[in-house]
Every structure is written in C-alpha cells, then in structure tokens.
Chain A
Amino acid sequence: MRVPLSWLREYVDLPAGETGRDVADRLVRAGLEVETVEQLGGDLKGPLVVGKVLAIEELTGFKKPIRYCQVDVGDANGTGEPQNIVCGARNFAVGDKVVVVLPGAVLPGPFPISARQTYGHTSEGMICSARELGMGDEHDGIIVLPAEYVPGTDAVELLELVDEVLDIAVTADRGYCLSVRGVAREAAIAYGLPLSDPALLDVPPANAYGPLVKVEDQAGCDRFVARSVIGIEPTALSPLWMQRRIQKAGMRPISLAVDITNYVMLELGQPLHAYDRSRIDGAITVRRARAGEKLRTLDGVERTLDVEDLLICDNSGPIGLAGVMGGAGTEIATAVEDPETGRVDGTTEVVIEAAHFAPVAIARSVRRHKLPSEAAKRFERGVDPEAGKAAAQRAVDLLVLVAGGTAEAGVTDIAAPHPVHSITIAADHPDRVAGQEYGRETVVRRLQEVGCTVVGGDVLVVTPPSWRPDLTDPNDLAEEVIRLEGYAELPSTLPTPPAGTGLTESQRLRRRTGLALAGAGYVEVLNYPFIGEAVLDAFGLDADDPRRTTVQLANPISDEEPSLRTTLLPGLLAALRRNVGRGATDVALFEQGLAFRVDGTDPEALFNAPRLPVDRRPTDEEIAQLNAALPRQPRRVATVLAGNREPDGWWGKGRAATWADAVESARTVAAAAGVELTVRQDRHAPWHPGRCAALYVGDRLVGHAGELHPRTVKALHLPERTCAMELDVELLTADGGGHVEGPRISGFPVATQDVALVVDATVPAAEVEAALRSGAGPLLESLRLFDVYTGEQIGADKKSLAYALRFRAADRTLTAEEASAAREAAVAEAVSRTGATARG
C-alpha cells in the first residue's frame, strides 16, 4: 500500500515538521512494515507554470516532426510576453493548457533547465510530459490540463508534485491497512492524535427503491450495498487532485467513474464496482457459477468458470467475478463523439456496488483464474463489512460533485445477520504473554485505541471493531497492547529448560562421518536434490531399478531436473564435473543427505495424506497415515573422486585415485560408525562391472563402491576412472554399533609367521582372509595381506597371496610349535575353503 503523506495528513493532524521518515519510524514501531519512503519532487525547483498554447509552427527537415510554439505563461516569465518553446510532442493543439518549465528551473533527475538553441530556434524552456515531472511513466505525450486553469499558475502546487509516499508491505492480518483510512488510524494511535475518520459520512437508510439486487449465496456475500447515479457527463474527466492521488498510490487513472471507485477503495479500503446501468439486464444477482458458464472479464480474457466461483449476474448471465474483476459486458463505456452529429455517446448512468465477500471464496477464485487484483487483495485479507455504505455514499458524492450526476434516492443494502464476536480475556493476559506488567488501565486504553469496545474488570469482554476481522483470539488482543506499548520495551529473560541429553547417536555419527571424511581429504558439498531422467540413463539403470521410480515436482525450477534424487551420486558427480570444468584436477567430494525412495512404501497410502482437522490433536492412527503418505527418505552418505589421490611432487610420482580409495572411504564411514564392513564382488550400475564392491554389514547390503562404468563416465563427461561410493547410513547402523569392548593387552611376546597361498584368480581375497582368520583360532592377533603376485611361476589364472600373521597368547610366551600349529591350522582352513595351495 502506497500512502502519500499529504493524503495521510488529511485525516491526522501530524506535527508540521514531521517528515515521511519520521512517520515511517513510528509506524514501523507499531508494526507496519514501511519498506521505503519515496521522495517525490525532492529535487524539483520552479518556475513550473500553466501555459496556454497560442501558436504552433511545424518545423520540417528534421528526423522527426518538431513544433515551435508560442505559449502564454502569464506573468511567470516576468515579461508577460509569450515564451518560445521547441517541442517534440504532438498531442496538443492551439488553445490547450499545458505545463511549462521555464529557464532556471530544475526538473527531477536533477535536470536543470536553461534557454538553449535547438532545431534552429531558441527554446525558452520546455512543455512537460508526466514522465519528465516524475508523475508516472505510462504516457509519452505531454500533459494537457483541463481548460479552467489560468496561465501562469504554479503547477508544482497544482499537480502536487512535491510529496512523500510511504510504501507499506501490509501483512495478511492487516487488511484494514490497505487503505489510507487504516494507515491514518495507526498513525493517529502512534502519535496520540485524533483521527478524522473519512468513513464517517451521512448515509441515508436503506429503502425499497434502490437498484434491484438478489443475494442467493449469503455465505459468500453477507453484505451488498448498491446505489445509482444518473445524468453523468460522459466527457467529464477526473479532477487533477484525484488523478494525482491515484498515481501516487501506484495505480493508473483510467476514466472518471473507474477512477472514483479506485479512489474510494484507496481511501476507505472498500473495493467498489461501477456498472453501466444501461447494460444491466434485470436484477443484479449474487450466486455461484453453474457448470460450463463463461465470463469475459475486463482484461478481455474469456474465462470458464468453476462451480465454486462467486459471481455477479444479471438476466443475461455472469457480469462479474465477484470481488475479483468485473465483466467486459457491463464495463463503463469510454466517451465517443459522433463526428457528424457531435453527439457524445458514453456511460451516463452507473450502479455502484459496495459488497462484502467471503475471503476464502475470493482467494480461491484468484488462485483458480490466476487473476490477482487490487479488489481481491483486499477481500482476501478482510474488508470492513460496515464500510460499504460509506464507500458507496462517497462514490455517489464524487460522481455528483465532479461528474455532474444526480444521485438517485434508492439505497439497496442487503445484510446477512452478523453475530457480534467478543473475546473474553483476563485483564492481565497481555502482561502474561509479554512477561511485563502493563496494568489493566493501559490494556483497556490500548484496546480502545485500536477501536475495540471493552467492558469488565479483572476479566475483560472485548468486542473488536468491524475493520479488524483478524482480532479473534486472546493473543491477538495481547499483541495489540504489546506492539503499541512497544516491542522495544520488552525485558530480556532466560527460561530454564530441563537438563538436556545433547546430540542423538545419529547426529553424533553424522558429525564423526563428516570429520572423518574431511580428515581423509574429502570436501563436503551440499547439492540440490533435483535430478532428471538423463542422469539415470547415463547411469545405465535397468527399467525396473527402484532408483528410476522418482518423486516428481509439479513445478520444478528446471524441466531438465523435475525429480527428487533417489541417490546422492548425480549431484556429487555434477559438482565434480563443475570443479573439473573450472580447472581442478584432483577432486574428492562427499555429501551426507536424504534420498527420496518410493520402493518399500505402501502404494495405497503413498501421496495420499488425509486432510486432518486442526481443532484437536490428530490420533496416532492419523499421524501414522500422514507418515505413510511420505516417500522413504533414507539418510545416505556418498563420495566421488577423480584425478590423483596423492599429487605428483618433489617426492616423486603421485598416486591415482582408484576403486580402492572409494572402498576405503566406505571403511572410513564404517569406522566412524564403529561398524565392521565386509566387501563382496558385485555388478551394479553405475559402477564398472569388474570394479564394483558391494558393502555389507554382516549379511545386510548397505551400499556400493568402486570405479564408475566407463559408459557412465563418458555420458556424464567425467574424468576417466572416476570413482564413487554410496551407502545407506540407516542400514549401516541398523544393529547399533559404536560400542567398543576394552581389549585385554597381553605383555607376552609376539610370534610372527608368514603364509603365501596360491588360489584361482577368481577367488576373492576377502574369502581367503576369512578362512585364515577362522582357521588360525584365538591366538591370532592380526593378519595382514602384504603382497599379491601373479605370473608364470604360479601358472595362469592363479594368484599368490602373501599374509603376515601375528600370534600372541594372553597368559604365556608362545612356543615355536604353538605358533606353527596355529599357522598350519589357518592354512588348512584356507586350503579347504578356497582350494588354496601353500607356496614355497
């Protein structure tokens, strides 16, 4: 809501020296969000006067037509002689009144004016356009003033060019501040000054001979005031002061009748509609739309109506979308002069509608038809239902005053019974909300200031004013008191929560995981969870892969990425590619976050959340239904890496990142979780079929790691041999983990034995190791694979695995025989399980 300070001062007698900023500060403290204070004409300096065009000479031979004019500016130029002015605009004729800026003046910009030589003549000033004067930028031509103004009159004052405009972002609860009246009320309270309420008008009582109106849907329309004015001069123009106020408020002057409805709406907050009475067929009827009905709205769009749409109709059908936009069929006609007869055709009789519509009905129509309007904005936020009568009267008065019309005596006022809504609060309720003592007197005074009727002692019965439909609950009243007393005055105290227990195990694990991976050289990124089909294709996922069944956005940021991620890898790989594209060569990234999976959910319940009431706690069953409507959102951790894991340097060659680093990153995560990971060979997209490790905790698959499939690498334009790991944190820790039993440390000496085993190349090292461990028995302290050898010596399709075994007993020094026996047992188990032969 844009409020000109000059308009505000009409209703509140603000101290003369108060600037827009001063007023804005007071209003901000009272809870209005004043976004800017615009200075209109701040750098403007006269002389700027009314001029009368005496003569026009068309200059030719230039790129565009130019006029050399003589303009009577009265005595404003000191001589009384006509001013010679060169002008490029053409929308004026001899005899027109225009606005002239004389040499020595400064136009907004600042743009100093002096007499200057142009198009072969001396131009002694300029004839001004609205844009040049900072009045608005919708028209290119110069301003032609109504004929009544006298040449030489100061136009700065006439056009109210110097003003300040407060631009206020009105919150959803403060519909009444979408009017100068409402803002003036707040300013009056903030300054402790009386308000001259512009809605206090003499309104004749309703009678039976007003415009015919039938309200068939009282739930949608609980008030309908209608008045009519006849004998309007169709050529009458809106007075300058009205046009200027409408412009400053951010709207455009259109035609007199429309300007008056807009002006009254800005003034009182009540949206009005003016119908050309000659174009209404029968009674005005308020009802819901019927299936298939259509309406061409004022913006020229034909709209198919929904049965929920609230309509204004006549015998011909819909003539307006109630509270949102009028129909084209009953629009106020622009005056058209018949060139032969000189007869002017245009609207001469209007019906003024000042109605009150249900906010929900209006909001839904706006959403349905994507048709926000100034009227709908006000109805959605709540219009004063008592303002209609005054607003209609004000519009009638203006039509009579400036359009030469005659008010008809009929007054239609259809009102549904309106129950009085009172709120009962303890007089100290605001004190208890604020944590500060205001006292009963202050509470009552503040509530009365905002317009409430207050009765009672320790318990107050408060009836909010008609313009405050937002005041429904005790806390609403508390807020009024607290904001007017000042939020700045609130004391600062600390509550004492019960002793806490710190982070959950899952939260601690997330921190450990992040620290461990960062410590291992990975950089954390937080990617958007949006993915597209293309990346899943690049991954080579089968048609029935659960990662292909995505949750999709109805309104994605990009049509290329309309789905939610089922895996973290697309985002990580995109980040990897971005880093490489920006010149990085060795990149290792990680992310922890949620994926969104449909598999494993109940298809009946999924995406089918019940619309629960809010006047009670939902039952546990209802909460379970809400949760069942959600996709699974497993927490996952993933790494990607490319280039060198260790760079080249003065110490020698670097080491390329390999599948083993990806697997190691999984072990890093598992170690942070205190979980032992086992690895099995696997084939799983998007990994390289020969370099893909399945990660297990016991028999539970928790994720995969390895080198990516070369096709995926190529399709996604990744560096060659890019590696990746991803695992599901909840599966990783499903058995708990993280608990460590303190080991018993033996002080007896260690016995070391080496073992070399030859196995088929296809036998996984993990199986050989498992066999050795199992066979070695409890004396085995540690086992480490220190060499893998393939070559002619051991035959094709074979590999030799060399292990160092360390044996130690808790209670004695092992004899050579004991150590050897344990070693033999280990080897025997490996031989029997994996077909190994002992080497050398």
Chain B
Amino acid sequence: MSAPNKSYDPVEVEALKPEEIERLRDEALAAFEAAADLAALQEAKVAHTGDRSPLSLANREIGALPPQAKKEAGQRVGQARGAVNKALAERRAVLEAERDARVLTEEAVDVTLPYDRAPRGARHPLTTLSERLGDIFTSMGYAIAEGPEVEAEWLNFDALNMGPDHPARSTQDTFFLKDATGQPTDGVVLRTHTSGVQIRSMLAASEPPIYVICPGRVFRSDELDATHTPVFSQIELLAVDEGLTMADLKGTLDHMVVSLFGEGMKTRLRPNYFPFTEPSAEMDMVCFHCRGESVGNPDRPCRTCSSEGWIELGGCGMVNPRVLIACGIDPNKYSGFAFGFGIERLLMFRHNVEDMRDIVEGDVRFTLPFGMEI
C-alpha cells in the first residue's frame, strides 16, 4: 500500500464525500450483480475492491483528514467496503453454486455400467465346509490332525481291528498300489478313510487326553455318478480321555449339528457294526430343512429327507479297546469315541446340490457362487 497523497487538500477531499462513497458502493454492488459468471465476478472484484479501485483509493485519503473528519470518513468508507465485500461473497456463493451444479451435471456418469474388470475367484465349497467344521471343533479345544493319502495298510486297516481276513475289509473298495515297475506293493494302499490319522494321533501322543478331528481326501474304487465319487472328503473325530461315554459322543454330535444348522437340531443313534468301534452306531440328524415336520404330512413333502424326518450322516461309536491297545493306550484307564462322515453328502443336502459330478468336475460355474464363504 502506497503512502497517503499529501498533495490533496486534507479538509475537502472529493472522493470522500458521502455521496461519492455511496455511488462507488452502488456501482460495485451493481457490477457484482451484473457479473454473469465467476470470471466476470473476478474482474468486477479487481475493479471494485482491488488496490487501484476507487474505494481503495478513497480509503487512502482518509489519513490526511483532520481527526473528526477522519473518523466520519473512516466509518463511511468502512461501511461501504463491508457492504461491497458482503455482496461479493454472496454473489460468489451464488455463482459457485451455479457453476457446481452445471459442472457436476456435466460430469455425471451411468453408475449402473457393469464393472467386472477384476476377475472374481472362489474357494471350493468342500474346502470351506471342511474348514467350517474344523472351526466348530477347534473352538471346542480339538486339534486338526492330518496324514498321508497313500497310507500303510497297518494304519488304514490292521490297527483299526480290521485284520487281513476281516470281512469288513473286503467291502471297502480299496485302491491297491503297484510300484513303478508294476510290482504290487506290500502293505501300502490309498487310504479308504481318514482313520489312519486317528491311529497316528494316538501313536504320537505320549498319553491321552487326545481330542482331534481328521479331515481329508479318501479313496474308494467306485465309479463316478450322480451320488458316488471314487475320491471324496471325509471328516472324522477322535476323543480319548478318562471316563468318556456314549452320552459324550451323543452330546458332541448334537453340538455339531446345532453349530452347523442352528438351535433345535439334534441327532439320533441307531445300532450298527464297525470293527473299529464297539459299541457302534449309525448317526442321523433331524432334517434341517423340514425339521421333521414332513413326516406323515403328505401336504408338505420334503425333498431333502424324502419326508423321513431324519438324514443319515455317518458312522460312530466308542473306540474299540483293541484299537486303543494297538496304539499303546490302556483301555482300562481310558475310553474314547469317534465318528466320521462324508463332506460331499453334507454339502449336497445342505446346499441342494443334485449331482455329485458338479462337485468334482471343477466347472467354475459351480464353484463361483460359493465365493469365499459357506
């Protein structure tokens, strides 16, 4: 800001006359009002509030006035400049809003355009369902144990009270192996269940308690069709501790089906025979779909359980003490329970999958809808 102009008459300054200040103010207000866009407003701003604008120049004259006149002139000019700045801000706000409205309208896009640029992946529902089951049991304190898929016969059969001549052994549709020269292997098979992992868990533990689940792939020489596959997934459970009972087995099964399907679910045991458990049972669960209400109710048939009310899940029982002995565990001190079932079947009825082949063939159209979760 330049110094006051000493050459003017300090008492009578034309530019500081009230009418003059009012005129300058009105001119400025009119100019702002007339500005059609922000650029014009900027020009008007420079013209009416800039250093070289009449009001600014007038303001510079104030210093030369005598005290009384200085005060009056100061007030006049101050009020005028205040009104000008206020009008400027108001006009700017209006013009900016207009501009924003216009520009943002111009920038509008169709947000409904599809955007599948990043490819979408998915995990297989067998994997996620197996993990879900794993989570249920790890939260109870169980560990997840795993083992080899090519397994020693002793671990797959003999230790499970299925000696070479046991009739149950020949019903397992076992895949037998040859070495690279075509010679049959001695005592090595593709595992027919994950029970070998149970044996390995017991052999590895110096002493019970043992609480493990054993998920994994197993192999039976069935042809692939809508309900069978030679390669499938199983989950088995083993608990060995002091004083375990069939009631504990039942409670554990009940907890599992409640965790998977919600409150009100329960299981039912039916006597059966397996060499590795004694007593043995077949386990059913209440149909999660109709909750048993389709039984004797032809108006509301249930496809999931064929209106039986129950769904067969798998086999279970108290670990045969002979199995404990083969693993070096004293059956007089410890008892155990175990169960196992196929995950494919669980997946099929839980998600209404009609054909086993869809699960095994790896068609992305089957797997993608499952995404990451189950």
Partners in one complex: yes
Residues in chain A within 8 A of chain B (CB atoms): 28-31, 33, 171-174, 359-360, 363-364, 367, 380-381, 432-436, 473-476, 478-479, 482-483, 487-488, 490-504, 507, 511, 514-515, 517-529, 549-557, 564, 575, 578-579, 582, 584, 586-590, 593-594, 596, 598, 606-612, 614-618, 623, 626-627, 629-631, 633, 645-647, 649-651
Structural contact, A551 and B179, CB atoms closer than 8 A: yes
Given contacts A475-B318, A494-B252, A552-B180, contact A612 B158 (CB under 8 A): yes
Known A434-B247, A553-B177: A588·B121 in contact at CB below 8 Å: yes
Is B292 engaged at the interface, CB distance under 8 Å to the other chain?
no
| 3 nearest A-B pairs in the assembled complex, by CB-CB distance | A617-B328, A31-B271, A435-B245
* CB proximity of B194 to chain A, nearest CB, Å: 13
**Contact indicator A630/B159 (Cβ below 8 Å):** no
Do residues A614 and B159 form an inter-chain contact, with CB atoms below 8 A?
yes
Which of B143, B153, B154, B269 is the most central at the interface, judged by chain A CB atoms within 10 Å of its CB? B154
Residue numbers in A under 8 Å from B143 (CB-CB): 500-501, 504
Cα(A626)–Cα(B204), bound, Å: 14
- Find chain A residues with CB under 8 A from B187 CB: 607-611, 629
The residue that B165 contacts in the complex, of A30, A359, A502, with Cβ under 8 A, is A359
Main secondary structure of the interface of A (DSSP, over half): loop
- Evaluate contact between B123 and A615: CB separation under 8 angstroms: no
| Closest residue on chain A to residue B327 by CB atoms | A617
- Contacting residues of chain B (36-89) with chain A, CB-CB under 8 angstroms: none
CB-based contact B272/A171 at 8 Å: yes
Residues of A within 8 A of B180 (CB): 549-552, 598
26 contacting pairs across A/B (C-beta < 8 A): A28-B270, A29-B271, A435-B247, A487-B269, A495-B241, A497-B241, A502-B138, A507-B134, A511-B131, A514-B123, A514-B127, A517-B121, A518-B122, A523-B121, A526-B217, A557-B224, A575-B362, A607-B185, A607-B187, A608-B186, A609-B153, A611-B164, A614-B158, A626-B154, A626-B155, A630-B150
Alpha-carbon distance A487/B230, docked complex (angstroms): 32
Q: Is the C-beta of B295 less than 8 angstroms from some C-beta in chain A?
A: no
Task: Give the chain A neighbours of B368 by CB distance below 8 A.
Answer: 523
Is chain B's interface secondary structure helix, strand, loop, or mixed overall?
A: mixed
Q: Is B255 an interface residue (CB 8 A)?
A: yes
Residues of chain A lying within 8 A (CB to CB) of residue B328: 616-617
A551 contacts B150, C-beta separation under 8 Å:
yes
Report B244 CB to chain A, min CB distance, Å.
6
Assuming the contacts A363-B165, A552-B182, asked whether A633 and B278 have C-beta atoms less than 8 A apart, the reply is no
- Please give, as numbers and ranges, the residues of chain B lying within 8 Å of A503 by CB-CB distance: 134, 138, 144
Contact A499 B141 (CB under 8 A): yes
Interface: B254 (CB within 8 A): yes
Q: Are B250 and A491 in contact (CB under 8 A)?
A: yes
Known: A493-B248, A524-B367. A630 touches B142 (CB 8 A): no
B118 and A614: CB pair below 8 A? no
Assembly CA distance A475 to B320 (angstroms): 8
Taken together as a complex, chains A and B put the C-alpha atoms of A517 and B123 apart, in Å, by: 9
Residue B342 lies at the interface, judged by CB distance under 8 Å to chain A: no
Whether B107 is near chain A, meaning CB under 8 Å from some CB there, is no
Q: How large is the interface on B (under 10, 10 to 19, 20 to 34, 35 or more residues)?
A: 35 or more
B362 and A646: CB pair below 8 A?
A: no
Q: In the complex the two chains form, is B150's CB within 8 Å of A633's CB?
A: yes
Pairwise interchain contact B252-A495, C-beta atoms closer than 8 A: yes
A614 partner, pick from B178, B203, B322, B367, beta carbons under 8 A:
B322
Question: Contact partner of B230 among A524, A528, A610, CB < 8 A?
Answer: A528
Looking at the complex, which one of B152, B182, B282 makes contact with A609 (CB distance below 8 Å)? B152
A557 touches B141 (CB 8 A): no
Q: Closest Cβ of chain B: how far from A688's Cβ, in Å?
A: 23
| Interface-facing stretch out of B26-34, B168-176, B296-304 | B168-176
Q: A521 with B250: in contact, given A487-B281, A515-B372, A630-B148 (CB under 8 Å)?
A: no
* CA distance in complex: A173, B273 (Å): 7
Tell me if B91 is interfacial: C-beta within 8 Å of chain A: no
Given A614-B326, A615-B326, 13 further pairs, Cβ under 8 A = A28-B270, A29-B270, A173-B273, A487-B269, A493-B250, A493-B251, A497-B239, A522-B121, A523-B364, A525-B367, A552-B177, A553-B176, A555-B175
Check if B272 sits within 8 Å of A33, measured CB to CB.
Answer: yes
Interface string of B219-255 (1 = CB under 8 A from A): 0010110000011000000010101111110111011
A476 to B158, CA, bound (A): 19
- Kindly name the residue among A526, A615, A629, A649 whose own CB sees the greatest number of chain B CB atoms within 10 A: A526
Is there an interface contact between A172 and B168, defined as CB atoms closer than 8 Å? Answer: yes
Q: Which of A497, A606, A626 contacts B179 (CB 8 A)?
A: A606
Task: State whether B250 touches A492 (Cβ < 8 A).
Answer: yes
Contact partners of A172 in chain B: CB under 8 A: 166-168, 171, 273, 275
Q: Is the CB of B247 within 8 A of A492?
A: yes
The answer to whether A607 and B186 touch across the interface, beta carbons within 8 angstroms, is: yes
- Measured CB to CB, the nearest residue on chain B to A501 is B143
Q: Is the CB of B138 within 8 A of A586?
A: no
Q: CA–CA, A646 to B161, complex, Å?
A: 55
Q: Is B163 an interface residue (CB 8 A)?
A: yes
Q: Which residues of B sit under 8 angstroms from A609, Cβ to Cβ? A: 152-154, 185-188
B64 to chain A, nearest CB (A): 51
Contact A630-B166, Cβ < 8 Å, known A495-B248, A607-B186, A608-B186: no
